[in-house]
Structure formats: structure tokens, C-alpha cells
Amino acid sequence: MSATLPERAARHGGRVAIWSAGRSFSYDELQHAATQAATVLLDGRSDLAEERVAFLVPPSFEYVATQWGIWRAGGTAVPLPLSAPPAELRYMIEDADAALVVASPELAGLIRPIAETRGVRLVTTAELLAGDLGPLPLVEPRRRAMIVYTSGTTGRPKGVVSTHAAILAQVDALLEAWEWSPDDRALLVLPLHHVHGIVNVVCCALASGAACEMHRGFDAAATWARLASGDITVFMAVPTIYRRLIAAWEAEAPERRRELSAAAARLRLMVSGSAALPVQTLERWREITGHVLLERYGMTEIGMALSNPLRGERRAGSVGLPLPRVEVRLVDETGAPVAHGTPGELEVRGPNVFLEYWRRKDATAAAFRDGWFRTGDMAVLEDGRYRILGRTSVDIIKTGGEKVSALEIEEVLRTHPAVAECAVVGVADPEWGERVSAAVELRPGAGLTLEELASWARERLAPWKVPKALVVVGELPRNAMGKVTKPDVARLFGVPNVPRPSRF
């Protein structure tokens, strides 16, 4: 088995690897560009020896050339979210202890002050891809390959470290289960700071010799145009995106609708994940395209774990069965397996599981029980298929496929001069799944509107963490111990909180 993805893809040669910015790039061109990038990153050294290289590059040929360049040079790739404000970028660069920062030329200005204060080298993708070709190190599969930041119940986002072997295990499970082939052409509209876009779409396409068409972000009209082109065979998205595609289809004239539906029906595979797919969305999509969306379940720490079948019955509301070589179990609070039909916490084991939270030994230790990774998701096995019931923690919110920590947002909101105390909850929402909502107690004499709070928060937090609703209260609801009761906070927004199972 090859050590890293670029080595695995070496045999695809002259085939098209990437469509980006209106042109195609072959696997050979990608390998060449990655070798150039690696040589520039190495700057005369023989091996980056897992040094972290943070990169801020939109989805494009340059993104993959940078990622592969980092891997070929023996470094650890740290993809940064494009729309995060400088404060968050700085946090990730510092936490990862990045020794190098790469940015596309148009984004370099944003990140230069951070690189300068940290005294690290900043290289643009233009510089990376203008270099010579030098000798490259041999990279063992067990070495660290990537750090993806993820929010948790404790403090600031943590870096999830995956090895080359874990990434390829995640890829291989999907290649097998979803029957990827060199004839596939995947459409990427997802961001490339998460495993959904990075692993499931880009790495899978490139490991199988398929082509990946990369868009800078999601746009409903542009996506429909490409789905209608007949070129695309594989599409993956979060439920919020399917909802927007449905709305765009419904806004079309009847004849155009028929064209779009007929073209979409010809795709080989359409997948939904990263958040629960509402049954109404699944049903409507089936009416429009004939596709029963293949819903699967995953997490940054493990890649994908459960999936409905490619062939055979896809059950609405279910996430199917374990992927090849992935083991799962449901346990009670003591770690004892629960009976069929009884809810339990989902635990995962297998070659797909991450190595560690970056420089957080305690958090890593706490995330495992007897060698099993504790997902923090509750699930139940019903009629031989798994169904996800919700999180064990009320403080984890999923909005538009982005996981956010209520506690992290609260910590930031508490530094607002008008805020005395606050509580953040996820409120069920048809568009976003859950909507980040803040209840605040104000300081004496202070006033605060949602617009004021949101524009202040936008400078400090990624857009998906910015509250979309605000209520000002005299006092937050608390229990007898003085602890804020989140279900009561959610009720302040007039909509019941998404039903969550009690811990057990």
C-alpha cells in the first residue's frame, strides 16, 4: 500500500485530475506542481519533519498543489478557513505552531501581519509553483499529515491530527463502499477546511484517478448549471445546500425544471452528510431528481464511519452501517455495550481514527475509552441500521454543516462591553439545521441590538459562529444551583430546542 496520497495517485499520469478556473490539469501537472511546491517549502532542507504549514488558499488547483507539496516535503498540512477573521486565523497559526504560512496572492495581505509578528516565513502559491524541482524525502504512512481545527465542549477549537495512513484508510473505505472509478467527475462546492470537502470529495477523487471540478464556494445557480451539464457523476453536500438547491429549482419555470431534473437524475451518486438530513429534504430531492440521497455519518476525528448502501435500500432518517474496516459500538455511561434498540453513545475504532488532538494530551486521553473513540453522538440500532439521535452535549451546535461550540461563543460575547452574562444555544431552524442564538444579561444602563452584536462578533469569530438571534433578558434562567439551564434558554427564542436525548 502506498505511503501517501500523491504517491498513490502517481499512476494516473495524463488523466485529468482537476478542473479549476475554467481549465483542466492532469495528474502529471499536479505532481509537477506539488514537487515544485515541496522544493520551495524545503528551501534546501531534506525533510520538513512534520513541521506545520498553514495555508489559506481557495479551492483550486493551487490548493491541491500546496497540500500535496506540503505532504511531499514531509510537512503537516493545516488548511485555514477562508472566511475566518484574522483573530481566528492567528489562533490556528499559533496553536498549530506553524513554521510556514502559504497564501494565494490575493489573500497574502490578510495573513502577512500574523506571519510577521510570529516571525514565520510567508510564501504565496505563485512563488510555490514557480520553483525548481529538487530531491524529496521518503514519507512514512504513520507520519502526521494534516491538522483540521474542530470545535469541542472544552475551550477553543482543537487541532485534529490525522496521519497519512488514517487519511488513506478513510479514502479507501469510501472508494470501496461508493465504487469510485477513474470515470467519475466530482463537483466540489464545499469548503476545504473540513474533511467532507478534503477527504470525501477531493482525496477520494484523486486517489481513484477521477477528476475533481473545484468551485470556490457554493452558489445554487452555478451548481445547478453544472449538475445540468451532464459532465458530473458525483455530488456531495450538507443538508443546507440541498435545501437551497431545492429552492432554486422551485424558482425555475416548468420547462427548465424538467431539464434540470432529467440531467440531475443521470448522476451516479449524490451524498448528504455533516448534519442530520431532514426527511422532507430527502423526499423533495427524490421527487425532483429521482435520487434517494445517500446519507452517511462522519466526524473530523474519524472521517466517515457509517453509510447507507450504494446499492440496496437507503433508509430515510438512518445512517446505515459501518464502512469497510470501521468498527462501531453503542455504549452506556459506564462503557458497557447496550442492547439492540437501546440508545447509546457511538464509539468508533479502526485505521480511519485520528492520532491525537494537537498538543492536548488530556483531551486526547479523554476522547478514548479502551481504545475506542467516543464520538459524543447518541445513536440507536433499529432494524439493523443506525440512527443518530443527537449530541450528548447541548453545547455543541451544528449550523449549515459547521460545528460550533456554544461555550467558545459565550466566552467571546462576554468580552463585549454591554454584556454582563450570556448563554448561547442552537435553536432548530429549517435552513441551518440549528441557528446560533444568544440570550444576554446587559450591564446596567447598556443597550444592544442583534445588528450591533453581530457586527462586533464578525471581527472576532468565523461567520457561522456569529449569533443570528438575540434576546435580552433581566436574568438568564437558572436551576437551584445557579447553573444556566439551556433548554429554558432555547425556549426564550419561541421555538423548542431540537429534541435531544437526555444523557442516558
Q: Output 197 or 344, the one with its CB closest to ligand MLC.
A: 197
- Print the binding letters for residues 123-162 with ligand MLC: x by CB under 6 A, - otherwise: ----------------------------------------
190 binds ligand MLC (CB under 6 A): yes
* Residues from 269 through 288 that contact ligand AMP (CB under 6 A): 273-276
- Which helix (DSSP H) or strand (DSSP E) does residue 187 occupy? strand 185-188
- Nearer to ligand AMP by Cβ, of 163 and 300: the residue is 300
Cα gap 331→347, rounded to integer Å: 7
Q: Binding ligand MLC by CB under 6 A: which of 20, 289, 399, 437?
A: 399
Q: Which of residues 268-287 bind ligand MLC (CB under 6 A)?
A: 273-274
How many residues lie near ligand MLC (CB under 6 A)? 24
Site residues for ligand AMP, 93-152, by CB under 6 A, read 150
Grid cell at residue 154: 472544552
Three-class SS state of 59: coil
* Selected binder of ligand AMP within 129, 227, 299, 470 (CB under 6 A): 299
d(CA 380, CA 413): 36
Please report, in angstroms and rounded to a whole number, the separation of the first and last CA atoms in the chain.
Answer: 42
Does 432 bind ligand MLC (CB under 6 A)? Our answer is yes
Q: Which residue number, 96 or 299, has a Cβ lying nearer to ligand MLC? A: 299
Q: Which three cell numbers stand for residue 453?
A: 452584536
Rounded Cα–Cα distance for residues 407 and 306 (Å): 28
Q: How far is the CB of 332 from ligand AMP (least distance, A)?
A: 19
- Planar angle of CA 500, 190, 83, nearest 5 degrees: 90
Does 375 engage in binding with ligand AMP (CB under 6 A)?
yes
Work out how close the CB of 404 gets to ligand AMP at its nearest, in angstroms, rounded to a whole number.
Answer: 9
Beta strands in 326-384 (DSSP E): 327-331, 344-349, 356-357, 368-369, 372-382
Choose, by CB under 6 A, the member of 195, 330, 353, 470 that binds ligand MLC. Answer: 195
- What is the DSSP track for 76-117? EEEE--TT--HHHHHHHHHHHT-SEEEE-GGGHHHHHHHHHH
> Which residue, 115 or 145, has its beta carbon nearer to ligand AMP?
145
Q: Report the residue from 331, 388, 425, 440 that binds ligand AMP according to the rule CB under 6 A.
A: 388
Nine cell digits for residue 252: 425555475
| Residues contacting 313, CB < 8 A, separation 6+ | none
CB 193 within 8 A of CB 176: no
Binding mask 233-252 for ligand MLC (x = CB under 6 A): -----x-xx-----------
Interacting residue with ligand MLC among 36, 39, 104, 300 (CB under 6 A): 300
The β-bridge relationship of strands 234-237 and 269-272 is parallel
In the set 403, 416, 435, 486, which binds ligand AMP (CB under 6 A)? Answer: 403
Longest dimension (CA), the chain: 68
Residue 214: its H or E element: strand 211-214
Q: Does an H or E element contain 70, and which?
A: helix 61-72
Binding partner of 391, given ligand MLC, ligand AMP, none, CB within 5-8 angstroms per partner class: ligand AMP
Q: Does 354 bind ligand MLC (CB under 6 A)?
A: no
Out of ligand AMP, ligand MLC, none, what residue 399 binds, judged by CB under 5 to 8 A for its kind, is: ligand MLC
Cβ within 8 Å of residue 144, ≥6 positions away? 50, 76, 161, 162, 163, 355
SS (H, E, C) 242-300: HHHHHHHHHCCCHHHHHHHHHHHHCCCEEEECCCCCCHHHHHHHHHHHCCCCEEEEEEC
Q: Residue 319 binds what, of ligand MLC, ligand AMP, none (CB under 5 to 8 Å, by partner type)? A: ligand AMP
Return the range that interacts with ligand MLC (CB under 6 A); candidates 10-18, 419-427, 461-469, 484-492: 461-469
191 binds ligand MLC (CB under 6 A): yes
**Residue 407 burial (CB count, 10 A):** 18
Rule CB under 6 A: is residue 467 a binding residue for ligand MLC? no
The one-character DSSP state at 149 is: E
- Cell numbers linked to 352: 480511519
> Which lies closer to ligand MLC via its Cβ, residue 16 or residue 277?
277
- Give least dist CB 27 to ligand MLC, A: 25
88 binds ligand AMP (CB under 6 A): no
- Shortest Cβ distance from residue 89 to ligand MLC (Å)? 16
Nearer of residues 241 and 260 to ligand AMP, judged by Cβ: 241
**Measured from the CB atom, is 7 or 408 closer to ligand AMP?**
408
Residue whose CB is less far from ligand AMP, 35 or 300: 300
184 touching ligand AMP, by CB under 6 A: no
CA distances from 428 to 78, 93, 451 (A): 32, 33, 21
376 touches ligand MLC by CB under 6 A: no
- Applying CB under 6 A, which residues contact ligand AMP? 150, 273-276, 295, 297-300, 319, 375, 377, 388, 391, 398, 403
- Applying CB under 6 A, which residues contact ligand MLC? 190-191, 194-197, 217-218, 238, 240-241, 273-274, 298-300, 399-402, 432, 463-464, 466
